[in-house]
Amino acid sequence: MVNFFIRRHMDPLALVPLILCFGLLSWAFYYRDERLCIVYGFFLYLVMAYGLRFIFIPSVSFNTRKFLGEQNYVKAIESIEQELDYFERKKWLDKYRIWLMISWSNMTFREALLCSKAYCLLQSRKVSAARSLYADILEAYPQNAVAMASLNTIEIITQSVREEMLADM
């Protein structure tokens, strides 16, 4: 099993609420202690950012990560389906994820979950289902580099397997 690293890109617009929130929190502590206001603001900012994630992100998300770590892709797919249902019901979380300090990624939760599901399908040897899902992801999110690279890899491997089979005949 090959583990690969996917670099998450931060949305440049996410800096606006991040700086705004940190600045307001530091300013709120300015009259209490001029020298340590930035430290207090930073600490409260961290507490809020991580606390809001636990409030808004479903607990099943932590199960998904656990199942992926254990390489239990069947249970991970079930867990991802529950997460997709959650974010389908609460679309506003995806829309305002930056302002709620939940995620600063360019990728929406739904987009990331669909990529994770396709990855699990691929690891479960369901190549045609994974190919179809990656194609659907690219249709909905044309700039998704993960889906694009994965779909290209699937196509290259499929073509080389076909060529090897034809050469052996």
CA atoms 50, 75, 91, 139: torsion sign: positive
The residue segments making up the domain with residue 18 are 10-56
Strand partners, 10: 105
Residue 131 included in any domain: yes
> CB of 1 within 8 A of CB of 71?
yes
32 with 104, same domain?
no
HSE toward the beta carbon, residue 58, CA cutoff 13 A = 20
C-alpha torsion 37→9→69→56, nearest 10? 50
Residue 133 included in any domain: yes
Nearest to 121 by CA among 129, 132, 113, 112: 129
Residue 1 included in any domain: no
Q: Which helix (H) or strand (E) holds 18?
A: helix 15-28
Q: pLDDT tier at 10 (50, 70, 90 boundaries)?
A: low
pLDDT tens per residue, range 23-68: 888 888 888 888 888 888 888 888 887 888 778 887 777 888 889 8
> CB of 22 within 8 A of CB of 45?
yes
Report the alpha-carbon distance of residue 139 to residue 156 in Å, rounded. 20
Q: Token pair for residue 114? A: 């669909």
Does residue 168 or residue 8 have the better pLDDT?
168
105 with 70, same domain?
yes
pTM value is: 0.76
CATH number for the domain that contains residue 65: 1.25.40.10
Number of domains the chain contains: 2
Look at residue 82 in the predicted model and tell me its pLDDT.
93
Quick one: average pLDDT of 90-113? 81
Residue 67 included in any domain: yes
Look at residue 100 in the predicted model and tell me its pLDDT.
74
Residues contacting 40, CB < 8 A, separation 6+:
25, 26, 29, 32, 33
